[in-house]
């Protein structure tokens, strides 16, 4: 009965008892509050974006920036360097807890941030599952070769131009230059596919080539990352590891697709037998999460597994019903992902008043040009598809998104990158991510205008 924090004696008393028990209620309070922040940011941003005739996902990203580390600090993450003192949400929890100290609230901050991070990851897993469901496996295999060419050009061109340019123009040492070049190879499958879906172009030939290429790019990106990481660590390339990744990635994706028919039948049999609530969505998610887990376990990305699961289940006749049920789940989880990506982007690197940023800004301008041109040209690698919108395909590959941030984060952690180069990579990631959605809309709109004129081949919109 001694501790009486001024202003809130009663709350203090209650907390001092609850505290002895466990931190669970405060963690829950933090998660609930963070989710409210995420949802409000995503809706305000998304709706504003729509009013401006831009893809809503851009608004969700911007909403994330506003509530994130660049502005309001309501949503910050320890993994991107924030501490409990940076969060403007924690004082609320300290107050609820009856005047808890920063040290006392620190583990709660960590836990609630981890929970939000996992929810974000589940969000992008559900998104890719949904994209897989919306994609057509036959369409996708039809454009498989074109997608592979687009992906390979999109990795080789920016990597070569970026690395060579950094060495030649900026006299960057070889290993950091290779690292920055590698960061240029990424493509954010999440952002790209979401924009395509919002523009209604996911099922167009262009859309399927972009999605296919983004998936292949993701696999290539993992291999590039492994190469670069081992280079940064030991100074040499770990060939066994690279071979292992190439084999496991190919085996996983091809295996999932070839075994698809079997999975499909098993899924239908199970879903038909079940009588209790969730008889369709639960088996579907068990399959999706298991595939995501397997992909993760063999050191691919979890989202690749979820995408493969969606592709496979797309073939079933329960598809429509399943689609319908996945939508609300995606609606509540996917925004956590996009808002988190925005929240983690630190725009302070753009401030030219900070001397260290100036060098970074110059390098960033170079990287950005390479990043855009290196991906836009990929559209012209598509063969045997007369009348296809090559510009749209190229632009679709531009956003680096979360994948680019992973590269920057690893570079920063391994100490390979100096401050200006790291800032330059982050700026490149931010700009490509935020520029691509409106540009993609323009690229497709030009096409629609063209299509309105009698054309020799219209877009297949099956």
- Choose between 127 and 151: whose C-beta lies nearer to its own copies: 127
- Choose between 297 and 354: whose C-beta lies nearer to its own copies: 297
Count CA atoms within 13 Å of residue 455 on its CB side: 15
- CB crowding 254-288: b at 16 or more within 10 Å, else e: eebeeebeebbeebbebbeeeeeeeebbebbbebb
Could you say which DSSP state residue 75 is in?
A: S
For residue 90, the tally of other CB atoms under 10 A from its CB is 25
- Choose between 31 and 156: whose C-beta lies nearer to its own copies: 31
Could you say which DSSP state residue 79 is in?
A: G
Closest Cα to residue 112, out of 31, 39, 35? 31
CB of 272 to its own copies, least distance (A): 12
- Choose between 128 and 147: whose C-beta lies nearer to its own copies: 128
* 293: exposed, middle or buried (Cβ count in 10 Å: 0-12, 13-18, 19+): middle
- Choose between 193 and 378: whose C-beta lies nearer to its own copies: 193
- Choose between 1 and 452: whose C-beta lies nearer to its own copies: 1
DSSP symbols for 234-301: HSS--HHHHHHHHHHHHHHHHHHHHTHHHHHHHHHHHHHH--STTTTHHHHHHHHHHHHHHHHHTTS-
- Choose between 184 and 227: whose C-beta lies nearer to its own copies: 227
CB of 81 to its own copies, least distance (A): 12
CB of 334 to its own copies, least distance (A): 9
Closest Cα to residue 84, out of 61, 58, 106? 106
Question: Distance (Å, rounded) from C-alpha 296 to C-alpha 302?
Answer: 5
CB of 252 to its own copies, least distance (A): 14
CB of 236 to its own copies, least distance (A): 9
Angle value at C-alpha 369, between 149 and 71, nearest 5 degrees? 110
- Choose between 40 and 167: whose C-beta lies nearer to its own copies: 40
- Choose between 221 and 409: whose C-beta lies nearer to its own copies: 409
CB of 124 to its own copies, least distance (A): 10
CB of 170 to its own copies, least distance (A): 26
CB of 384 to its own copies, least distance (A): 35
**Would you say 443 and 389 are in contact if contact means Cβ atoms under 8 Å apart?**
yes
Closest Cα to residue 392, out of 457, 455, 332, 444? 444
Question: Distance (Å, rounded) from C-alpha 346 to C-alpha 330?
Answer: 26
CB of 153 to its own copies, least distance (A): 27
């Amino acid at each position: 009965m001694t501790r009486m924090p001024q202003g809130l004696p009663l709350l203090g008393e209650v907390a001092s008892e609850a505290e002895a028990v466990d931190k669970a209620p405060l963690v829950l309070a933090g998660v609930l509050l963070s989710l409210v922040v995420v949802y409000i940011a995503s809706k305000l941003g998304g709706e504003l974006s729509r009013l401006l005739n831009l893809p809503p996902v851009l608004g969700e990203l911007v909403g994330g920036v506003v509530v994130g580390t660049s502005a309001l600090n309501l949503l910050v993450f320890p993994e991107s360097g924030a501490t409990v003192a940076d969060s403007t949400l924690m004082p609320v929890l300290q107050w609820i807890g009856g005047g808890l100290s920063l040290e006392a609230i620190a583990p709660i901050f960590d836990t609630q941030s981890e929970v939000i991070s996992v929810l974000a990851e589940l969000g992008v897993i559900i998104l890719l599952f949904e994209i897989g469901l919306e994609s057509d496996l036959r369409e996708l295999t039809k454009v498989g070769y074109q997608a592979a060419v687009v992906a390979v050009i999109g990795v080789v061109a920016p990597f070569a131009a970026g690395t060579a340019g950094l060495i030649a123009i900026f006299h960057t040492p070889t290993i950091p230059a290779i690292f920055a070049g590698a960061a240029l190879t990424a493509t954010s499958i999440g952002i790209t596919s979401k924009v395509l879906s919002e523009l209604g172009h996911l099922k167009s030939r262009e859309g399927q080539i972009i999605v296919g290429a983004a998936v292949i790019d993701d696999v290539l990106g993992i291999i590039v990352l492994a190469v670069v990481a081992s280079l940064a660590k030991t100074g040499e390339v770990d060939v066994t590891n690279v071979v292992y990744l190439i084999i496991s990635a190919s085996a996983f994706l091809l295996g999932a697709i070839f075994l698809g028919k079997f999975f499909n039948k098993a899924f239908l049999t199970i879903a038909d037998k079940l009588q209790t609530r969730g008889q369709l969505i639960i088996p579907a998610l068990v399959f999706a999460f298991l595939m995501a887990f397997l992909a993760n376990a063999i050191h691919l990305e979890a989202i690749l597994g979820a995408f493969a699961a969606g592709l496979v289940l797309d073939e079933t006749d329960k598809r429509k019903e399943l689609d319908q049920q996945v939508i609300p789940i995606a609606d509540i989880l996917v925004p956590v992902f996009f808002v988190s990506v925005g929240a983690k982007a630190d725009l302070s690197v753009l401030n030219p008043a900070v001397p260290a940023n100036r060098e970074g800004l110059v390098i960033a301008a170079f990287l950005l040009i390479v990043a855009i041109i290196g991906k836009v040209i990929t559209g012209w690698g598509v063969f045997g598809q007369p009348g296809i919108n090559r510009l749209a395909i190229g632009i679709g590959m531009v956003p680096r998104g979360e994948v680019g941030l992973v590269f920057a984060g690893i570079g920063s952690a391994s100490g390979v990158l100096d401050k200006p180069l790291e800032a330059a990579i982050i700026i490149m990631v931010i700009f490509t991510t935020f520029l691509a959605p409106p540009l993609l809309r323009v690229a497709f709109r030009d096409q629609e205008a063209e299509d309105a004129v009698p054309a020799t081949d219209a877009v297949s919109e099956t």
